[in-house]
Amino acid sequence: MQQTSIWIYGIGFLAQLFFSARILYQWMVTEKAKKIVTPPLFWILSIFGSYLLFMYGVLRNDFAIVFGQFFAYYIYLWNLNMQGIWKRVAVVLRVILILTPLVALVFLMRDMEAFTLFFFRQKNIPLRLLVFGSVGQMLFTFRFIYQWFYSLHLHRSVLPIGFWLISLLGSGTIVAYGIIRHDPVLILGQSVGFAAYVRNIMIGLQRRD
């Protein structure tokens, strides 16, 4: 493995470390409260992880990862705002957080022909595999769109049972994609969450009884 590849994988593993930390922390406070809890730190860690994984997707030339992270990233910011954390962030940092993914995407798409060849016509990633990976990322992103609509209706940031059910399905799809692509970042990162997803579903169902 070349030094460049090690550096790229390092960014990916660091991103997954943030994602794993958010799930483990949320699981810990949920077990303590005996109900599904949505702590602000969950969203803070999500932003750090998404920021890095977006970079990883660009460096790996993997549109499925870039596509999946783009929409979820801004939902993370919205949830931070709902919990009153966003307004405490320095203005300069807010601008950087808001603009970075947009600037990166515009930069990538400045030459549409090159962008298409770069992301969609790679010999080492068949189109059907890219579609499969994108479906997994779409499911994983949809869980936050669902969470956003659910929270919007309640006027507060919550993680409903449906969020965890979609997480379980999307995670399984992404792990399968990672296995096919021989991507240890996706495999290890997604595998950590399985137990937490199942446990949140169990606790959520118990609270309904």
Q: How far apart are CA 78 and CA 108, in angstroms?
A: 25
Contact 204, 36 (CB under 8 A): yes
Q: What is residue 180's predicted lDDT score, i.e. its pLDDT?
A: 82
At 19-48, the pLDDT tens digits run: 889 999 999 999 999 899 999 999 999 999
Residue 190: pLDDT above 60? yes
Residue 110: pLDDT above 70? no
31: domain range? Answer: 3-208
- Judged on CB neighbours under 10 Å (0-12, 13-18, 19+), 172 is middle
**Of residues 121 and 90, which shows the higher confidence score?**
90
Pick from 8-17, 60-69, 114-123 the range whose average pLDDT is largest: 8-17
Contact 2, 32 (CB under 8 A): no
**Which single residue is written with the structure tokens 């990916």?**
12
Measured N-to-C along each axis, helices 161-181 and 184-191 cross at an angle, to the nearest 10 degrees, of: 150
**Of residues 156 and 107, which shows the higher confidence score?**
156
DSSP string over 131-199: HHHHHHHHHHHHHHHHHHHHHHHHTS----HHHHHHHHHHHHHHHHHHHHHT-HHHHHHHHTHHHHHHH
At 123-133, the pLDDT tens digits run: 566 667 777 77
The number of folded domains in the chain is 1
Percent of the residues in the chain that have a pLDDT greater than 70, as a whole number: 85
Q: What is residue 176's predicted lDDT score, i.e. its pLDDT?
A: 85
Helices (H), 34-62: 40-59
Global pTM?
0.80
Q: What is residue 37's predicted lDDT score, i.e. its pLDDT?
A: 92
* 82-96, 143-157, 183-197: least confidently modelled range: 183-197
Q: What is residue 1's predicted lDDT score, i.e. its pLDDT?
A: 41
CB atoms within 10 A of CB 95: 11
Q: Is 124 helix (H, G, I), strand (E, B) or coil?
A: coil
Q: What is residue 162's predicted lDDT score, i.e. its pLDDT?
A: 93
At 47-92, the pLDDT tens digits run: 999 989 888 877 877 666 777 788 889 999 999 999 999 989 999 9
Backbone angles phi, psi at 83, to 5 degrees: -90, 5
Handedness of CA 82, 86, 87, 88 (dihedral sign): positive
Q: How far apart are CA 130 and CA 137, in angstroms?
A: 10
